[in-house]
Structure 1
Amino acid sequence: MLGMTGLAFMQGVLDGTLPAPPIGKTLNYRVTDVAPGAVTFEGSPTFDHCNPIGTVHGGWYGTLLDSCMACAVMTMLEKGTGYTTLEYKVNITRTVPLGMQVAARGVVQHMGRSTGVANGELRGVEDGKLYATGSTTCIVLRP
């Protein structure tokens, strides 16, 4: 990763020349769009992603949003730098039904030398409804 820009790395994940993040297989989501300062993941929750009362666990929403927002920040990184999530927040506005396809889009709001800030939305692919929002601050790691 450090041998290419963050945008080139994410484009490699999108086109399959680089491996997708392993968590995507576990939580049933994949990258579907990459642009400078914006990344979209799509997926759908299964019964394996439910909490004890049978609804989609908040961690599923959080992981999808953390992924798209942090990867949006990654697209702004120059060659030789890394990043990690410093903090993130998620607001769930409604429950995603099992099997429903959703798109999580992260967009960079600020990119500085040491931090990047992004917002995200989780929307139904077919109905366009808002299911959750998020915000993140990522720290830029320089060698």
Structure 2
Amino acid sequence: MVSDPSDFDRTRLIAMHGLDYLRAMLAGDVAPPPIWALMGLRLVRADPGEVAFLATPGPEHGNVTGTTHGGWYGTLLDAAMGCAVMTTVPAGATHATLEYKVNVVRVVRPGLEVEAIGRVQHGGRRTGVAMGEVHGVADGRLYATGSTTCIVMEG
């Protein structure tokens, strides 16, 4: 099992189809990005065109007013939407976020577990477009939405 983020291997990433890379991460054969641990994010499912994350903000993710910082929502949705696009990226290529938008509908309180789903709307040769939603695991309520455009780049 890989757990050290310094084990990142760009050559391996580029050599694999994006979906296969994410599934290797789920199997513990590839280390997740270090920011996921800092933000309390966990990839739990990767299917063609769709991924799911579970996340629980803690007090360390708070802002000056004591609520969950907007950057936490942005990181969660960027991960979910970007990884959804990654499921469409062929071997020999990678991707990067060009832009994303986040709409916070209600506050995720520290300790509340949420699920973020990213879904591809367009997976092309040069760009990928995805949307995301964050729902409470226990209450099913909508907490945030997002959209992104990613660039697909040859290795």
- In which range does the TM-score fall when normalised by the shorter chain? over 0.9
Aligned to 1:100: 112
Question: Is 1:14 matched up with 2:18?
Answer: no
AA in 2 matched with 1:90: V
- Match for 1:41 among 53, 56, 64? 53
Aligned to 1:82: 94
Give the match's secondary structure for 2:99.
strand
Large movers: runs of 4+ above 2 Å: none
- Match for 1:23 among 31, 35, 44? 35
Aligned to 1:71: 83
CA distance in 1 between partners of 2:139 and 2:28 (Å)? 28
What's the CA shift for 1:14?
A: 1.1
Q: TM-score, normalised by structure 2?
A: 0.91
Q: Which runs of 5+ in 1 are unaligned?
A: none
CA deviations on 1:5-33 (whole Å, 9 max, x unpaired) are 00000001111111111111100111011
Instruction: Give the aligned length.
Output: 143
RMSD: 0.6
What's the CA shift for 1:94?
A: 0.2
Give the match's secondary structure for 2:32.
coil
Aligned to 2:139: 127
Identity %: 52
Aligned to 1:52: 64
CA distance in 1 between partners of 2:28 and 2:97 (Å)? 24
Q: TM-score, normalised by structure 1?
A: 0.98
